[in-house]
Homo-oligomer: A and B are copies of this chain.
Amino acid sequence: MTMYSNISTTAALIGDATRTGILMALADGKALTAGELAHIASVSPQTASSHLNKLMEGGLIKVEVQGRHRYFKLSGPEVARAIEAIAIASPPLKVRSLRQSSEKKALEYARTCYGHLAGKLGVATTDALIACGYFRDIGDVYQLTDRGQEWLIDFGVQPFLPKKIDFNAIPQHLDWTERRHHIGGPLALAITRRLHDLGWIEDGPIRRSIKLTRVGRACMQDEFGIDTDQL
């Protein structure tokens, strides 16, 4: 038992392929049952149960019991952040199978990340919002410009916004597939909700993946000047 042993045990917990699969399935904050997780990670229920036990002991996940179902979820966002930080420090995945490649593409293209837009589409949208002069990138945070404030209202984002937001400190979120920043926090969540509402985006076939609809494709081009064919 040396110093840092808590760090190495946590890392070891994440450092198993099956457990990483489980954690990733929970990474967007959703709660899933043991059976579902076993299926997603493609292992037997016993195996999943064993892993879930270890993750509990390690404090990475917690459980809510509801009758004969047990809903597992990450114990907090700091766990998701840790996994994400590891992903960023990891060498890019060499793709082997066709299925794997298409899954990877779907997630790289667009997905949600604690509710807001991520992936290529997320980064592109952020770039566009800056190009339009609605946001300013000042290094560690984004700032909403005056024109940006007007746009929020025009575009109908307002109703999705919580009361108090500091428009001078919109969090930057580092994306692990693109390794680029994009807007995060409540404001990003609100914009994503609005896009959903407008029918420009919808949930994709793979967990957490997002699809740009046909309308969305045209309108994004129109509204933000994003060349969606490039994506």
Contacts and interface: CB of A to CB of B under 8 A. Distances in A.
B3 A139 contact: no
A223 interface: no
Q: Give the residue among A4, A7, A84, A139 with the most B Cβ atoms within 10 A.
A: A7
Interface of A: 1-17, 19-21, 24, 42, 58-60, 76, 78-79, 81-93, 96-97, 100, 103-104, 138-141, 166, 168-169, 171-172
Contacts of A171: 139-140
A8 B4 contact: no
Given A12-B15, A14-B11, A104-B3, A85 B92 contact: no
B13 A15 contact: yes
A19 B92 CA distance: 22
B89 A60 contact: yes
B1 A20 contact: no
Contact of A91 (B2, B6, B166, B168): B6
Given A4-B24, A6-B92, A11 B86 contact: yes
A24 to B, nearest CB: 6
A21 B59 CA distance: 22
A2 B15 contact: no
A33 B76 CA distance: 38
Contacts of A59: 90-91
A171 B76 CA distance: 23
A171 to B, nearest CB: 5
